[in-house]
Amino acid sequence: ATQRRSNIKIITLNVKGINHVIKRRKMVSSLKKDRVQIALLQETHLTDSEHLKLKRDWVGQIYYSSFNSKSRGVAILIHKNLPFTLNTIVRDTDGRFILITGLLYGEQILLGSVLAPNTFDRSFYSNLLAKTSSVCPNHVIIGGDFNCGLSPETDYNPPKSQPPSKMAKATMDFCSDLGLFDAWRVCNPHVKDFTFFSRPHFSFSRIDYMFVSRSVLDRTRGCLINTCALSDHSSVSMELLPPYYDPLSRHWRLNPALLSDPEFVKYLEDQWELFLSTNDLPGVSASTLWEAGKAFLRGSIISFTSVKRKSNLAKQLVLERDITNLEREFKKSSSVSVLKKLDAARSALDQLLTQKAETAIFYAKHRLFESGNKP
């Protein structure tokens, strides 16, 4: 039997320097306790040789970009039990970003850890975009401290009245060019939460992000901002469903046959109106609303089909019981009216079972095409 793969837990965190051996040990132990499998770290303040010392305990692979022992430095730690095979490494010489591509569960993926400058630097964003787009596969996860809130109203407390900063625009353009989404915002469209507290300004801001491609977003099972006792930044974590590896399991797809059911169409319209009435608010961008809306509709459709399936099963059981009783009655009475009722019940059951068989054959053909040998 095939073992079930557990969800992949990924975390991004600005560690504010782990060049002290005690803090480094505490950080690695803390990530182990939280069952992290991929850690995207910023501001490690480690040299090349010190970075390599992180490869202990649960850490099986480490990739990094160093600057010096006082500032910058980014790293990616990968759990020893995670089947990641490296293809390429793209390092920034200034210790600002590290990008790696490789195979995870047989799929091409890009992982990145980014530490953006405190002030706007056009060359940083153009360099990051050029380096990322040159190796960009379908699945992308880039975590990091981007040093800016994307929305002045929702990502700062107290909120800012001025328009988004140059850094925020550059970050949003970077995501737009690569088709990346802010995973935490999509998972929490109305929540106000922050990852950094500035003591001098006495203000909160959300400046740490997990940017993911659409294919990764579809498999994301929640994205959270967590408190971290070892840094002045909060970590952002997400859980990712591993790829489907069992031919019997498949990606969810809308059953097109449902669209010919007027009851389903009416239900879908009502659900969409309900979603828009509660979520279409001034602070929510169209792309976030659309991504969250699709997830909501998918849940609604699964709920509808589940109820329908249970209802059909209940109907089948009732028909089978009726047929048993009518057969017993017909054997005793040989009545023509009972025979008619028996034929009607058999016909109804046959129709129900035919429908189920057709659906099963449709999915069997689909599975055969998806998983079959196509030389």
Annotated binding site for Mg(2+): 14, 43, 145, 147, 232-233
- 325 HSE (CA, 13 A, CB side): 8
* Residue list for the binding site: 14, 43, 145, 147, 232-233
Tokens of 286: 């169209």
Strand partners, 13: 41
Q: What are the phi and psi torsion angles at 138 (to 5°)?
A: -70, -40
158 preceded by cis ω (within 30°)?
A: yes
Q: How far apart are CA 284 and CA 289, in angstroms?
A: 6
Question: Among positive and negative, which fits the CA dihedral 293, 294, 298, 299?
Answer: negative
Structure tokens at 369: 């095409």
